[in-house]
Structure 1
Amino acid sequence: MVPKRNRRRRGNGRPREGIQLRTPVPLAATERTGTVGTGTVRWRVHVGGLMRSAPYVTDGTVYVTGRGVCAVDAADGSIRWTNADAGGTGSPTVAGDTVYAAGWRELFALDAADGRPRWRRRMRWISRSRPVVANGLVHYINAGRYLRTVDAATGRRRWRAKYQGRGWGMESAPVLADGILYAASKDGIVWAFDPATGKVRWKEPVYSQSPATPLLHDGTLYVGGGLGPHVRALDAATGALRWHMMVDSVGSVGTTPAISGNTLYVGCQDHRLWALNATTGAIRWRVSTDGPIGSSPVVADGTVYFGSDDGHLWAISAENGRVRWKVKTGGPVMSSPVVADGVVYVGSGDGYLYAIEASPAPGGPLP
């Protein structure tokens, strides 16, 4: 199908080695609040769908999945092109001049300039995660039992690895860093693969159903518990457990953590964002919203940005959790935000992509 062009502009587990923590913290000592301002919206554009995917920003263009894959001008929000056949569920990624997106039983490679398909590959299952592209390979996961790798130029299969059993829950996205491809299975095992061959380097159970997409930082792999209130830190080279924190909550941690300095930020379905010591897992503080947090946080210039099912994008101090401002959208914010050139791009359940000033205070300068 030839892409549609739109020129209209519109503004459980057994004990393991490592540190085991469950630290009740008095509410008064950890809940952070402050004078809440309203952030400044530069523009918003309707791209349709529930907007669960995270945008991808590069070279002045925001690529996002709504009702299909859209390319949006980062400066003014005008839609450059839309491919209604591609995407639909998973977040897009860009490598060179090609956009890769997985969705309704197909994996697409699109021309970044006009959205025309370069190739498409059939899948038996729906994918809701972002593909990873590096060294001429595309690594992706869908609701089936395999981690799959195809040639980035042709879409032909290079290898596949069975890494999870049958089960239910959301799949996490693969993560590639330092020459290792990581994947967390729905049955609670974190795997490390050679990205060129699919050979298993190590695997480690984390005793969680549907673990979240991991974060790798400075030799440590941080994994949210998915359907449980757990956060674990693993040695990225060996999979050995470094620490395990069960936050003082009955909610589930289904988001990818963010890190700044020695603080780890984790969103939870208990309506709170938790700040943990990245070395030990000890709780530093927490901040409450008015809805579950299914949006992975991002840290930029001393501010943590994340969405909540209460319909807001939140901006809080990375140092102490004080709320700086929030922006109300027309639906739950399940999309993970992206910060680029002083702007936060985030999708909402109302079908709009928002561009919001990334200022610590409304109208204030960046630090």
Structure 2
Amino acid sequence: MPRNSKSQNYHLSNAFSSQLIVRSWVMSTGFRKNNPFKSLITYTLFFGIFAIAVALHSAWTYYDISLPLSSPSSNVSSYHETSEFREFPEHATKWTAVISNGKIIASPVLVEDAIYVVVGRTSGEGRIQAMSSWDGSILWDHSLSGVSDFSPVVAEDVIFISLRSGLLVALDRHNGKELWSFQAESFINGPPIVEDGVIYLAAVKIYALDAVTGEVRWTRKAPKDVSSHLALSQGVLAFVGFDGVLRLFDADKGKPKFEYPIWFPFSDQLLASKSLLIVTGGGANIHAIDIRSVDIPYERAMRSVWERLWLWGMAPSPTVPRGYLWHNGTLQGVEAKAFVADGNFVYVGIEDAKLSDSSGQIVALDLSDGQVRWRTFLDSFPISAHLVGQEGLLVATSAGQLHFLSKSSGFQSHHVELGLKLVAPPGLGHNQLVVADNSGTIRSLK
């Protein structure tokens, strides 16, 4: 049969159509499988999603975008009365008291007209006593279910005691009646901190409780547990873990903010002074860190690569780590402890040797750069330093000496021999100074 000319022309035109030509080229070249434009779009989408995820993670880490917690039921804070101690005490003894069957291992606490002392080294001996600051008579006595290694903390009408068992007890400070208690999961490191109606504890977790009711506001697992006491300043909690890493948490919600590795053996006490956090420890190392620091995501990983390249001679020297302010490792001694700071100096005690009768030093470092401004050598190592009045610094040593120094120059005006060895720093307040030895003898100086 003769072919239809129209049909032949139709197939001929379709054979040379642009659609068929493109389709034939796609089939012969595999364009669909190896389309560069398609790969570019895929990679762009992938990196776009990755960048958005990094940005969201960075925002979550750097900024606090979570919902606020309800306000605590009060605004009570820890009581501090040392500001009322205006002049150095005389050597004259105001009164002496002996606590029967009581071994004291923590500092007495003076609040208005009362002195609070935790005694006992075994669970059967543990108790807290309130004494009159006027004559040392017993106001009340409360038995504890365990032993406390730390001084009690007073916030308005409540006194808090942390026990080795992880139990926190809240008592009415006027009569010793128990108000509430809280059981942590492990031993509590250091005394609690009470600030703006919230009490903070450090154990295997960091706890924030309502200071009046004991209700848990938040808890946060501490990586590698907690090896130091807590420090609090400008809404930031600071502690060091058993891995030697300093960690900063937001005090309001417990959100981790910053991590900083400490390369020397550290003491269990941190000192916070406004935006500065002072870490001290073995080898008389003293390190200042900005407590306002916040981690930038992936910065540590990038810095690690940078440091490796620098060691291989392939990159310039790394900049100082985030949070670093200054470090002083030039002081001679086996251990340093920061006691107190004012607007200009931080006052640090140095232990010269690990001996019971070791000598020591008290050193004033400039808060701005960590340089030594003055240094005073002592016959025994210092266990505390207190600011007194406008120009005074009262330093207590383990051998029972009280040294009265000028805080601006370190010049010693005089010193007092107490005649007893101190196991804990003296308590100051209400224009008197109270010292205690481990046998249970308490002496008030006026």
**TM-score of the superposition, structure 2-length normalised?**
0.63
Question: 1:201 aligns to what?
Answer: 257
1:50 Cα deviation from its structure 2 partner: 4.9
SS in structure 1 at match of 2:333: coil
Q: Deviations over 1:326-358 (max 9, x none)?
A: 34345432423343233223433343333323x
Give the whole-Å Cα distance in 1 for the aligned partners of 2:117 and 2:170: 14
Contact 2:111 2:430 in 1 (8 A): no
Amino acid aligned to 2:188: S
Contact 1:102 1:108 in 2 (8 A): yes
Distance 1:304 1:72, change over 3 A: same
Q: Deviations over 1:175-202 (max 9, x none)?
A: 2222222223344322221223211122
Distance 1:72 1:326, change over 3 A: farther
1:164 Cα deviation from its structure 2 partner: 4.8
Give the whole-Å Cα distance in 1 for the aligned partners of 2:93 and 2:186: 37
Which of 20, 40, 49 is 2:92 aligned to? 40
Question: 2:331 aligns to what?
Answer: 248
Which of 171, 181, 185 is 1:120 aligned to? 181
1:243 Cα deviation from its structure 2 partner: 0.5
- In the alignment of these two chains, the number of paired residues is 313
Moved over 6 A (4+): none
Q: Deviations over 1:178-230 (max 9, x none)?
A: 222222334432222122321112222222334342222242222222x3411
1:235 is the counterpart of 2:290: yes
Structure possessing the higher relative contact order (Cα contacts under 8 Å, 6 or more residues apart):
1
Which of 128, 153, 158 is 2:217 aligned to? 158
Amino acid aligned to 2:212: A
- Segments of 5+ residues of structure 2 without an aligned counterpart are 1-88, 121-126, 294-321, 353-359
1:38 Cα deviation from its structure 2 partner: 7.3
Which of 409, 415, 418 is 1:326 aligned to? 415
Distance 1:214 1:201, change over 3 A: same
Contact 1:329 1:350 in 2 (8 A): no
Which of 264, 277, 280 is 2:346 aligned to? 264
Give the whole-Å Cα distance in 2 for the aligned partners of 1:356 and 1:107: 31
- Segments of 5+ residues of structure 1 without an aligned counterpart are 1-36, 358-367
- More strand per residue: 1
Give the whole-Å Cα distance in 2 for the aligned partners of 1:157 and 1:337: 33
Q: Comparing 326-335 with 87-96, which one deviates more in the overlay?
A: 326-335
Question: 1:5 aligns to what?
Answer: none
Distance 1:341 1:59, change over 3 A: closer
Which of 92, 107, 114 is 2:152 aligned to? 92
Which of 377, 394, 407 is 1:288 aligned to? 377
Question: 1:138 aligns to what?
Answer: 199
SS in structure 1 at match of 2:267: coil
Amino acid aligned to 1:89: D
1:247 Cα deviation from its structure 2 partner: 4.0
Contact 2:233 2:274 in 1 (8 A): no
Amino acid aligned to 2:339: P
1:76 Cα deviation from its structure 2 partner: 2.3
Give the whole-Å Cα distance in 2 for the aligned partners of 1:186 and 1:300: 35
Contact 2:110 2:430 in 1 (8 A): no
Contact 2:113 2:430 in 1 (8 A): no
1:256 Cα deviation from its structure 2 partner: 3.5
1:39 Cα deviation from its structure 2 partner: 2.5
Amino acid aligned to 1:76: D
1:132 Cα deviation from its structure 2 partner: 0.8
Contact 1:298 1:338 in 2 (8 A): no
| % identity of equivalent residues | 24
Q: Deviations over 1:4-48 (max 9, x none)?
A: xxxxxxxxxxxxxxxxxxxxxxxxxxxxxxxxx973332233346
Which of 139, 158, 163 is 1:103 aligned to? 163
1:176 is the counterpart of 2:237: no
Q: Deviations over 1:32-78 (max 9, x none)?
A: xxxxx973332233346553323333232222322322222222222
Distance 1:146 1:247, change over 3 A: farther
Distance 1:223 1:347, change over 3 A: farther
Question: 1:363 aligns to what?
Answer: none
Question: 1:341 aligns to what?
Answer: 430
Amino acid aligned to 1:224: T
Distance 1:351 1:287, change over 3 A: farther
Structure with greater Cα Rg = 2
Give the whole-Å Cα distance in 2 for the aligned partners of 1:39 and 1:263: 28
Give the whole-Å Cα distance in 2 for the aligned partners of 1:160 and 1:127: 14
